[in-house]
Chains A and B, each alone.
Chain A
């Protein structure tokens, strides 16, 4: 069968797989982004214990492979607790924790790249720390972080393919299941690769546009 014929035959399943991939990515980035912000803020705290908590989290995420994290959360923890975990839920937890660790580092770097004088100027006007962080430091930090944030989005999207090992029917797993039926290995993996490529290219294009629009003087806030 030719590639176009294969596409016509399998597109509903491929699209469902892609939908799952996108869904996992978005959910994980929302939760991971929140974790990243929280742990990023902890890592720039004046309090040693808070910084230590952030450091331990980031080190665990960076110090273990994603596939091991997925196995640990899907098989390990449920075995210890005697429960069953839905693979999709386990997948989202894994990816969120993983992205959260890397995003925490991105937030820390972004916040630390803003001159101390900004925080001091805001505090000297009587603003509480939280408000100064939220309204003065973070908006500037996010701007400098934008390229790294987009990069993390792309990495997380690609990392969803690793979740195929715990049986989530995202795009890669869908491809494997289709090939198990039709043995069109070369053609199917070509189609899957192109699908990932297109999605990531679209993401890159959108992000470049956002980046350009975020330069000072043009935005209004």
Chain B
């Protein structure tokens, strides 16, 4: 059974139907890249997977729990679903170390000391140990995003969601963030990545999903999607971005 199972997902904002009928199954360890034009619904789809957006209908199961009907337990389920945002969203009033250790220790999943030790190990993994005690505003965008990844990993999630993680970065900083994500993918993390980085999708994704106007129009291994797209809309989109 899949790690993430989405069935007949629909999402409307008022009269605007953003997701029309999404069915998607993601297996353990799989890396999915979601591509598509702005406004195609790809970020909304990602945000439905941790219930930052409520589904209008359909189900989203993560680890076998239906998160669409689970408001009592949503906080518990979200602990297993890491999320990385386009705008990093680090907590500016906390140091880098506090940003990472804050959730595990506040939720009493770890003692403060354990959480800090784990946070230092994660900082080492994203190569930012020396920044443990500075505040986010003193970091570059790329460094902030690496801290944000470490913060999500501190909850030991089963799935990681990335919402255009490099779109707000200066070009020279995109590489360092993608490198961390690549490492994570190779370590077997289940990842769903909304991205405009076609190079990353080609190289790292197990499956690429093209979304247009609220539907999954085409999906398959990156080689197939990028070299031999079948749907006309996919071809049009790829012509524009490649």
Chain A residues engaging chain B, CB cutoff 8 angstroms: 115, 117-118, 120-128, 131, 135-136, 139-140, 143, 216-217, 219, 221
Contacts and interface: CB of A to CB of B under 8 A. Distances in A.
A47 to B, nearest CB: 14
A126 B137 contact: no
B12 interface: no
B16 interface: no
B87 A117 contact: yes
B85 A128 contact: no
A181 B83 CA distance: 73
Interface of B: 50, 52, 75-79, 81-83, 85, 87, 89-94, 102-103, 106-107, 135, 137-138, 148, 151-152, 155
A118 B91 contact: yes
A127 B92 contact: no
B51 to A, nearest CB: 9
B100 to A, nearest CB: 10
B92 A140 contact: yes
B135 A127 contact: no
Contact of B93 (A121, A125, A140): A140
Contact of A127 (B50, B77, B82, B103): B103
Given A121-B148, A125-B78, A126-B75, 15 more contacts: A115-B89, A117-B87, A121-B90, A124-B50, A124-B52, A124-B82, A124-B152, A126-B76, A126-B77, A126-B79, A135-B102, A136-B91, A139-B93, A217-B135, A217-B138
A115 B148 CA distance: 16
Contacts of A221: 93-94
Contact of B106 (A131, A143, A219): A131
B89 A125 contact: no
A216 B137 contact: yes
The interface centre, meaning the residue of A118, A124, A136 with most chain B CB atoms within 10 A of its CB, is A124
17 contacts: A115-B89, A118-B89, A121-B83, A121-B90, A123-B78, A124-B83, A124-B152, A125-B155, A126-B155, A127-B107, A131-B106, A140-B92, A140-B93, A216-B92, A216-B93, A216-B137, A219-B93
Given A135-B106, A217-B137, A126 B78 contact: yes
B52 A120 contact: yes
